[in-house]
Amino acid sequence: MIVASFANVLVWAIWVLAAFACVGTGIAVISFSNPFYSALCLIGNLASLAVLYLLLSAEFVAAAQVLVYAGAVMVMFLFVIAYLGGRADAPWAGGPSWQAVGAIAASAALFVEIVVVIGLKTSGRLSDSAKLHSAYGSPAEIGRLFLTDNLLAFEITSIVLLVAAVGGVILGSHSREHPVEGVGQ
Amino acid sequence: MRGPDVVWYLGVAGFLFCTGALGVLIRRSPLIVLLSLEIMLNGANLALIAFSRHYGRGDGQIFALAVMAVAASEVVVGLGLIVAIARRRLDLDVDKLSTLRG
């Protein structure tokens, strides 16, 4: 019994750490004026989200989160930010101040709405979660679901990725009407 | 289930989503707007995985992985657009980029 309650406290402690890291880095992303620091904070945000996924026993998704986001997407972000030379803009730059006030009010209203809906509609019903079978969240289980029940989603995802790759190549290729200085014919 | 209930995860997910929405509304640099979009997608992902854990079924995780792939595609196209904009020496400001050609 003591071991079980100790594990409970430990999970709570890890959850509090990860959730606060998640919220803090999320706010830091949108408040830094230098996009480089914002991207670094987003990496911290993704890592703490991976911890939350592990607490929800979604091991494969956590690993994919770290590999795909922190490993690939954020590296691309950092490359582009370095390429653009870190043009900074202040967090509240441009636009009249009523726009900033309106934006803050709108997102605060959205958050209140979410909390109220969760509180009203799910009160008590989300307290006892289902028992998990041992394979839950494992790569084998994810692969089985992908290739049996969700095969259509899998194929559509692959087509979306292919279209995005082709689009990225077309956007990145030099257009003929606007040649870049210093590039030979 | 050890530790906090699913509701707590949903609260964090909602807060992340609102943070990302605030970033999209308030920032002018398209790079930061893309980063804020990532935060919104991650909030949605956290809610999906929390519900997947609650019902003990893997379908929510499949949906989360599909969202990850869509986010990666969106970043490829978005960063390609930003680089194309920067190469034409236009301002990186979403308020000034109001016409497609001209």
Residue of B nearest to A119 (CA): B7
How far from the centroid of its chain's Cα atoms is residue B59's Cα?
A: 20
A96 versus A58: the higher-pLDDT residue is A58
pLDDT digit string, tens, across residues A149-178: 899 999 999 999 999 999 989 888 865 555
pLDDT digit string, tens, across residues A75-101: 988 988 888 875 656 555 556 778 888
Question: Is a pLDDT exceeding 80 seen at residue A62?
Answer: yes
pLDDT value of residue B3: 77
Between CA B43 and CA A114 the distance in angstroms is 12
Q: Do A23 and B19 touch (CB under 8 A)?
A: yes
Partner residue opposite A168 with nearest CB, options B35, B42, B76:
B76
Residue of A nearest to B55 (CA): A130
Residue of A nearest to B47 (CA): A53
Question: Is a pLDDT exceeding 70 seen at residue A63?
Answer: yes
Q: Do A81 and B31 touch (CB under 8 A)?
A: yes
Question: Is a pLDDT exceeding 50 seen at residue A144?
Answer: yes
pLDDT digit string, tens, across residues B54-88: 888 888 999 999 999 999 999 999 998 888 888 87
Partner residue opposite A61 with nearest CB, options B32, B61, B70:
B61
Select from A20, A36, A73, A74 the residue whose CB has the most chain B CBs within 10 Å, as the one to mutate to test that interface. Answer: A73
Between CA A55 and CA A57 the distance in angstroms is 5
Between CA A30 and CA A81 the distance in angstroms is 15
* Sign of the dihedral through C-alpha B36, B38, B42, B44: positive
| CA distances, A128 to each of A149, A155, B22, B44, B57 (Å) | 26, 35, 33, 22, 15
Partner residue opposite A111 with nearest CB, options B18, B84, B86:
B18
List the single range of A17-21, A80-84, A124-128 with lowest mean pLDDT: A124-128
A103 close contact with B: CB closer than 8 A = yes
Residue of B nearest to A140 (CA): B58
Which residues of chain A neighbour B55 with C-beta distances below 8 Å?
129-130
Question: Is a pLDDT exceeding 90 seen at residue A110?
Answer: yes
A121 versus A146: the higher-pLDDT residue is A146
Q: Do B25 and A95 touch (CB under 8 A)?
A: no
Question: Is a pLDDT exceeding 80 seen at residue B98?
Answer: no
Between CA A12 and CA A16 the distance in angstroms is 6
Question: Is a pLDDT exceeding 70 seen at residue B44?
Answer: yes
pLDDT value of residue A184: 43
